Amino acid sequence: MPVYEYKAFDKKGASKTGVMDAGSISVVREKLRSSNRFPVSIKELNTLHAQKQPKHFFSLPRFSRIKQKEVAIMTRQLATLLSAGFPLVSAMDSLITQTRAHAFKKVLSQIKDFIVEGNSFAKALALYPDTFSPLYLNMVRAGETSGTLEIVLERLADITEKQQALIGRIRSALAYPVLMFFVGSLVLFLLMAYIVPNITAIFTDMDQTLPTITRLLITTSTFLKSYWWMMAIVAAGLAMAAHSIKKTKKGRFYVDKTKLLMPLVGVISKKLAVSRFAGTLGSLLDNGVPMLSALEIVKNIAGNVLIANAIEDAAKEVEKGQGLGAALSASTVMPHLSIQMIQVGEQSGSLESMLNKIADIFENEAESSIMSMTSMLEPLMILFMGIIVFFIVLSILLPIFEMNQLVM
C-alpha cells in the first residue's frame, strides 16, 4: 500500500504534518477530513527512491537527520513487541504511532510499506544506510535467517544503548579539548598568516643573514597566507577519498587492518569488537541458538573484517568437532585472555556465562582506555600550542638579539 505525506490544519488552525497508508490520495483526504483535519498538500513517498540512486566512488557523505538515540529506542521497543508475539508489520504500526520525530516516522512508514510488499526487514533497512549501520543490518539479516530476530534485536538494543552512552561520555570529555583545538588553531593561523608577516617585514631590509628558525617562520607564514585555500581543498579531497575507499571491500579490509595496528586505537577497537562478539554469542547460546548458527550471526557484528574472518575460520573448525577456544586460538587477532576464558567456560560447562563475563570485562577496559586517552588530550594540546608559540617568539627575538649585538 502506498505511503503518503500530508500537511493539514486542524479546527484551531494549527498546522499538522504526518504520514499515512492509503490506497490513493482521495482516501487520505477523506481520512483527514473525518478526523477534523483539512488537507493542504498530499504527496506520495517514493519508497524505492533510495534503492534506485546510483552510487559513485567519489561521493560526498550524507548526514542523516535521524539521531542514533531514536534508533536505539525504536530497536528496544521493536524487540519487546516481537518477544510479546506481535507480527513484524503490526509491531511497525505501533512504532510509527509512538514515534515523535517526523523524519523517523516517515522512514519507518516506508520500511513497513516495503515489508508489506513481500521484502525482508533487512532489505528494507538497507535502503537507509545513513540511519542503520552495517552492524545493524548484518545482525537483523542474520536474525531473520536463523529465526531469532527478537533475540538479535534485544542484543542489538543493548549494543546500541551502550554505544550511545559511551559516545555521550566521550563527547562530554572531548567538548573542551575540541573547542580549545579549533580556537587555538584559528588563533595560530591568524597569527602566522597576518600578524607575523607584519613583524618580520622589518627583517627583510636588513643586510644580514637571518637565523634558520626565522627563515623557516617567514617561509611558513608566506605559504599559509598564499595557499591556505589549497590546503583546505586537499583536506576535503582526502576526506572524500577516505570515505569512498572505506565503502569498498578491499578498502575496508586495509582500514580495519590499519586500525588494529595503531597503538591506542587498535587496542580499543579490538576490545570493543571482542565485547560485541562475546556478549552477542552468549545471549544467543542462552536462548537456545545452536553454536554454528550463533557464530554465523556474530561474525557479522564484530565491526572489523579481520576479526570477522577469524570467527568465520573458527566456525569451520567447530563444525569439524573442535572446541571454540581451540579454534579461535589459531587466530592472531583475538586477545589471549578471551581465548583462555572461553576454554575455561567450555571445560566447566558454563560457556554462556563466561562469554557474558568476557563482554563485561573487555567493554569496561575499552571504556577506561577511552576515558584515559581523552583526559590526556587537554594537556597534550596545551603543550603543542605552547611549543608553537615558543617557536614563533624565538624566531622573532633571535634577529633582534643579533641586531642589539651589532649596535653594541
Cell of 275: 565485547
Q: How far apart are CA 186 and CA 195, in angstroms?
A: 13
> Which contacts (CB < 8 Å, 24+ apart) does range 365-368 have?
365/271, 366/268, 366/271, 366/272, 366/275, 367/166, 367/169
Q: For residues 96-113, give the mean pLDDT.
A: 85
The pLDDT tens digits of the residues spanning 159-182 come to 778 777 877 777 777 787 788 888
Among candidates 220, 246, 263, 222, which has minimal Cα distance to 376? 263
Q: How far apart are CA 2 and CA 45, in angstroms?
A: 8
Tell me the average pLDDT of the chain.
79
Give the pLDDT score at 50. 40
Q: Which residue has the higher pLDDT, 210 or 369?
A: 369
Q: What are the domain boundaries of the chain?
A: 1-45, 152-408
Give the pLDDT score at 370. 81
Give the pLDDT score at 161. 81
Q: What is the CA radius of gyration of the chain?
A: 29
In this prediction, what percent of the chain has a pLDDT beyond 70? 87
Q: In a 3-state reduction of DSSP, which class is residue 288?
A: coil
Q: Which residue has the higher pLDDT, 119 or 50?
A: 119
Q: Which residue type sits at 189?
A: F
Give the pLDDT score at 233. 92
The DSSP code sequence of 43-74 is EE--TTHHHHS---SS-PPP--SS-HHHHHHH
Q: HEC string of 290-314?
A: CHHHHHHHHCCCCCCHHHHHHHHHH
Please give the distance of CA 210 from its chain centroid, rounded to a whole number: 49
Give the pLDDT score at 98. 83
Give the pLDDT score at 62. 44
Give the pLDDT score at 52. 40
Beta pairing, strands 15-21 & 3-9:
antiparallel
Is the per-residue pLDDT at 140 higher than 70?
A: yes
Q: For residues 288-313, give the mean pLDDT.
A: 82
329 to 301, 316, 321: CA distances (angstroms): 20, 13, 15
- For residue 388, the surrounding DSSP H or E stretch is helix 351-407
Among candidates 346, 286, 287, 283, which has minimal Cα distance to 314? 346
Q: For residues 214-225, give the mean pLDDT.
A: 82
Give the pLDDT score at 51. 41
Among candidates 23, 31, 29, which has minimal Cα distance to 3? 23
83: Cβ contacts below 8 Å, ≥ 6 apart: 150, 154
Give the pLDDT score at 47. 43
Q: Which residue has the higher pLDDT, 408 or 278?
A: 278
Is the per-residue pLDDT at 128 higher than 60?
A: yes
CATH homologous superfamily of domain 152-408?
Answer: Type II secretion system (T2SS), domain F (1.20.81.30)
The pLDDT tens digits of the residues spanning 2-57 come to 566 777 777 776 776 766 666 677 777 777 777 777 777 777 655 444 444 444 43
The pLDDT tens digits of the residues spanning 330-358 come to 888 888 888 999 999 988 888 888 998 99
Is the per-residue pLDDT at 59 higher than 50?
A: no
Q: Which residue type sits at 49?
A: H
Give the pLDDT score at 22. 66
The DSSP output letter for 209 is P
**What is the pTM for the complete model shown?**
0.62
Q: How far apart are CA 280 and CA 354, in angstroms?
A: 12
Q: In a 3-state reduction of DSSP, which class is residue 7?
A: strand
Among candidates 309, 348, 302, 301, which has minimal Cα distance to 327? 309
